[in-house]
Chains A and B, each alone.
Chain A
Amino acid sequence: MTCGIQPGEMRTKGGDSMRRPIRLLAGLAILGLVVTVPGSGGLRPVSAATLVKIGVDLPMSGGEAPNGVPTNNGVLLAIDQANMAGGPYHFEEVLKDDAVNGVHDPAQGAKNIQELIADPAVAGIVGNFNSNVGKATIPITNAAGLVQISPSQTNPGLTKPENGALDVRKAYPDRINYFRTCTTDDIQGPVGADFAYNVLKVRRVAILDDQETYGKGIADEFEKEFKKLGGTVLSHDGIPKGTQDFHAILTKIRAERPQLVYFGGVTTTGGGLIRKQMPDVGLATPYEGGDGIVENEFLTVAGDAANNSFGTVASINVERLGAAKAFVDAYKAKFHEEPGAYSANAFVAAKIILDAVKAAGADREKVRAWVAGLHNYNSIIGTFSFDANGDTDSRWISIYAVRNGKWTWVDQIRKGQM
């Protein structure tokens, strides 16, 4: 089917030649309008397919681009494959960046989400990456009834009523619209503690966190479980935002003679520099953290000191899953690199929305209801269902260690139904 101005089309019945140039101009003007309307995608061969947009909000710039870019790649791959398969819908991504001056920003995330909601063609959102951004965005998508699936936000308070989630989904507490394909820090933190206690055989730890939703949350969960196991938590300090010099706090920690330093937070909020400065004060213990430090940026920042660090990731290692082989191959072929820690989760998050649109149509409420009813969904990260709060029942935690300056997979643990 073609669209465009046919040679004879501008000629009117009356054939008034004086008016022709004016009409031609008007036609061109309308054409120009079509080309320049933001988001219209410009001139494209119009097919019968209905355009449906998938909103994405991730930190795409700054020190966190290494998190956002591979995650977004997962979404792009899912959309590509859905379009390739054909069907009545043509899918398109609307990408928003929630990093301001290099750091994820809840206010920017909220603004991005509002823009996505304002676009009627957006059927669902994949995002965000960081838990504190979710605290700002979920209330907005909840009020709008728009489905939002995060590949990586692990703070329990975003979904679980006992952790305060009813304040987050205030508008419609029973109309669940926020889901995630990763598991939560009340699983990730304790698995980290189990690993420290049972595998590393550590009994005395010092804890630091970056005082953010994610960092403090996972550090608190680690502390709780480690104490429950019978270990001693010598100290638990928060670090002021933007600190570069950790010699004082590490000197204090060294005097407590810990066997491990645990950090709750991400590389850029201190995770890398703390590891780097530990040898400066003669602190030679292993180091452990959550998924916020299991990335290449940590290796760059910590340099030689990175070895003997451990980290948990709230998802399964796709390279070890037979079902994900096709995904990994397609990812490598398209982006010429290994998938990031949350690429597969983002792929699945996007695919759920795409499948929902295909099954239930592009109506937001129908999409939401379809996702909320997801049961035994077969995906590249295994078969799972969403529970009554929107959390996945596939509670996989992978454990990594830095060996010879690289993050290497050590183990993965599935926590039972809770």
Chain B
Amino acid sequence: MNWILFVQQLINGLSLGAIYAVIALGYTMVYGIIELINFAHGDVYSAGSFVALAALTLLGATRHTAAAGLVFALVVAFLAAMLVMGATGVVIERFAYRPLRGRQRLAPLLTAIGVSFSLENILQLWMGPSPVPFPQLIPNPFFDLGPVSIGQMQLVVICSSLVMMAALHFFVQGTKLGKAMRATAQDWMAAEIMGIDINQTIALTFFVGSVLAGAGGVITGLYYGNIWFINGFRAGLIAFTAAVLGGIGNTTGAALGGFLIGFIEVMTAQYIGFQWAEVTIFSVLILVLIFRPTGLLGQQLPERT
């Protein structure tokens, strides 16, 4: 076995998995708190890249912009994508999901699919039906690490994802708002009795998840150099699978699931055949769910009524 190639693929898997993990966080947070599979989340991710592109176009940033201007443009693009998508998440929750809260579970699920299609079509109307080039503002040279190498953009993807995951972990575990989120997820009735504003907490969950997805969209836009209105579909599906694999409702599990699926995808490409990537991913998922029906890190939740 060629270990150099194996390590090289591990690096590829790490950067691919980091993207899945960031998107998976949004799925798992929303599911954790209102048990809704928010199918629109993948499209929120792809919409983030469109907002960033609009911001960059407005600022006139290109590869040839001077370094200081470039940093400024990137900061603005990230902020714009994160805030706009965060707000979008809140609006979606308020108008599409909240009116259906407490109804039978199929209704919000179908609504989520509808929101997903709506977002895709809005993006298509906005920037057109063809793939749109995204300015590659960060150069992508290689750094040699002995016999293997890592691209600068891969480093950016991995590092920024880790930073976001750490920030989320701190937010959920270490702040009062995070505590309110955890309490609502555990038992929203009890949480309400304790004086937690449930609506506000759920809206906050959507905001945070969508902010992460928006940032993820900008990162992949910069990495792949192309965005397309339909991109959120597969990314969302795989990230949702990652969330289930890791144990839906559990943020650490979602991150773990994202990286695992990234590794499975690259190793399938290397050793089995790229066309089997999805088959392998879902086979692993099924195997895991047979032995651990709640996913790798998921816990048996008490039955809610």
Interfacial residues, chain A to chain B (CB-CB below 8 A): 61-63, 65-66, 99, 101-103, 208, 211, 237-245, 247-249, 251-252, 255, 267-268, 272-273, 276-277, 280-282, 297, 300-301, 303
The CA-CA distance from A99 to B129 in the complex, in Å, is 11
Q: Contacts A237-B269, A280-B151 hold; do A66 and B130 have CB atoms under 8 A apart?
A: yes
CB contacts (< 8 Å) of A241 on chain B: these are 234
- Determine how close the nearest CB of chain B comes to the CB of A212; give it in whole angstroms: 12
Partner of B234, one of A211, A243, A273, A303: A243
CB contacts (< 8 Å) of A282 on chain B: these are 142, 149
- Determine how close the nearest CB of chain B comes to the CB of A144; give it in whole angstroms: 31
Residue B114, interface by CB 8 Å = no
Structural contact, A63 and B269, CB atoms closer than 8 A: no
CB contacts (< 8 Å) of A238 on chain B: these are 273-275
Q: Contacts A66-B130, A101-B230 hold; do A251 and B274 have CB atoms under 8 A apart?
A: no
- Determine how close the nearest CB of chain B comes to the CB of A254; give it in whole angstroms: 9
The CA-CA distance from A300 to B154 in the complex, in Å, is 23
The CA-CA distance from A208 to B269 in the complex, in Å, is 12
Count of residues in B whose CB is under 8 Å from the partner chain: 42
Interface SS majority for chain B: helix
Between A and B, 27 residue pairs with Cβ closer than 8 Å are A62-B124, A62-B130, A62-B230, A63-B131, A63-B230, A65-B129, A101-B124, A102-B124, A102-B228, A238-B274, A240-B278, A247-B15, A248-B9, A248-B265, A249-B274, A251-B266, A252-B269, A255-B2, A268-B228, A272-B226, A280-B151, A280-B153, A281-B151, A282-B142, A301-B131, A301-B133, A303-B133
Structural contact, A242 and B9, CB atoms closer than 8 A: no
Structural contact, B12 and A248, CB atoms closer than 8 A: yes
Closest A-chain residue to B281, C-beta based? A240
Structural contact, A300 and B131, CB atoms closer than 8 A: yes
- A65, A239, A268, A301: residue with the most chain B Cβ atoms closer than 10 Å: A301
CB contacts (< 8 Å) of B233 on chain A: these are 242
The CA-CA distance from A211 to B15 in the complex, in Å, is 25
The CA-CA distance from A303 to B226 in the complex, in Å, is 9
Structural contact, B266 and A248, CB atoms closer than 8 A: yes
Q: Give B211-250 as 1s and 0s: 1 = Cβ < 8 Å from A's Cβ atoms.
A: 0000000001000111011110111000000000000000
Partner of B16, one of A103, A211, A242, A248: A248
The CA-CA distance from A240 to B280 in the complex, in Å, is 12
Interfacial residues, chain B to chain A (CB-CB below 8 A): 2, 5, 8-9, 12-13, 15-16, 19, 120, 124, 129-131, 133, 136, 140, 142, 149, 151, 153-154, 220, 224-226, 228-231, 233-235, 265-266, 269-270, 273-275, 277-278
Structural contact, A251 and B273, CB atoms closer than 8 A: no
Interface SS majority for chain A: helix
Q: Contacts A240-B278, A244-B224 hold; do A251 and B131 have CB atoms under 8 A apart?
A: no
Structural contact, B225 and A303, CB atoms closer than 8 A: yes
- Determine how close the nearest CB of chain A comes to the CB of B43; give it in whole angstroms: 11
CB contacts (< 8 Å) of B228 on chain A: these are 63, 102, 268
- Determine how close the nearest CB of chain B comes to the CB of A264; give it in whole angstroms: 12
- Determine how close the nearest CB of chain A comes to the CB of B110; give it in whole angstroms: 18
Structural contact, A63 and B130, CB atoms closer than 8 A: yes
In the complex, given contacts A237-B275, A238-B273, A242-B233, what are 19 additional A-B residue pairs having Cβ atoms less than 8 angstroms apart? A102-B129, A237-B273, A240-B278, A242-B230, A242-B231, A242-B234, A244-B224, A245-B19, A248-B270, A251-B8, A252-B269, A268-B131, A273-B224, A273-B226, A276-B225, A280-B153, A300-B131, A301-B226, A303-B136
The CA-CA distance from A208 to B229 in the complex, in Å, is 24
Structural contact, A244 and B231, CB atoms closer than 8 A: yes
Structural contact, B230 and A102, CB atoms closer than 8 A: yes
- A239, A280, A281: residue with the most chain B Cβ atoms closer than 10 Å: A280
CB contacts (< 8 Å) of A237 on chain B: these are 269, 273-275
- Determine how close the nearest CB of chain A comes to the CB of B245; give it in whole angstroms: 17
Structural contact, A211 and B275, CB atoms closer than 8 A: yes
The CA-CA distance from A276 to B220 in the complex, in Å, is 14
- Determine how close the nearest CB of chain A comes to the CB of B248; give it in whole angstroms: 22
- Determine how close the nearest CB of chain B comes to the CB of A97; give it in whole angstroms: 11
Structural contact, A300 and B140, CB atoms closer than 8 A: no
- Determine how close the nearest CB of chain B comes to the CB of A301; give it in whole angstroms: 5
CB contacts (< 8 Å) of B129 on chain A: these are 61-63, 65, 99, 102
Closest B-chain residue to A268, C-beta based? B131
CB contacts (< 8 Å) of B225 on chain A: these are 276, 303
CB contacts (< 8 Å) of A251 on chain B: these are 5, 8-9, 12, 266, 270
CB contacts (< 8 Å) of A272 on chain B: these are 131, 226
The CA-CA distance from A247 to B278 in the complex, in Å, is 16
CB contacts (< 8 Å) of B130 on chain A: these are 62-63, 65-66, 297, 300
CB contacts (< 8 Å) of A303 on chain B: these are 133, 136, 225
Structural contact, A252 and B275, CB atoms closer than 8 A: no
The CA-CA distance from A12 to B182 in the complex, in Å, is 83
Closest A-chain residue to B267, C-beta based? A248
Structural contact, B12 and A239, CB atoms closer than 8 A: no
What are the 5 tightest A-B residue pairs by CB atom distance, in nearest-first order?
A238-B275, A242-B234, A248-B266, A248-B269, A237-B274
The CA-CA distance from A280 to B222 in the complex, in Å, is 13
CB contacts (< 8 Å) of A103 on chain B: these are 230
Closest A-chain residue to B129, C-beta based? A62
CB contacts (< 8 Å) of A273 on chain B: these are 224, 226
- A240, A268, A301: residue with the most chain B Cβ atoms closer than 10 Å: A240
CB contacts (< 8 Å) of A62 on chain B: these are 124, 129-130, 230
Structural contact, B234 and A244, CB atoms closer than 8 A: yes
CB contacts (< 8 Å) of B226 on chain A: these are 272-273, 276, 301
- Determine how close the nearest CB of chain B comes to the CB of A245; give it in whole angstroms: 5
Structural contact, A240 and B275, CB atoms closer than 8 A: yes
Structural contact, B120 and A101, CB atoms closer than 8 A: yes
- B9, B19, B224, B231: residue with the most chain A Cβ atoms closer than 10 Å: B224
- Determine how close the nearest CB of chain B comes to the CB of A302; give it in whole angstroms: 9
- Determine how close the nearest CB of chain B comes to the CB of A26; give it in whole angstroms: 43
- A249, A255, A301, A303: residue with the most chain B Cβ atoms closer than 10 Å: A249
Closest B-chain residue to A99, C-beta based? B129
CB contacts (< 8 Å) of A101 on chain B: these are 120, 124, 230
- B130, B149, B270, B278: residue with the most chain A Cβ atoms closer than 10 Å: B130
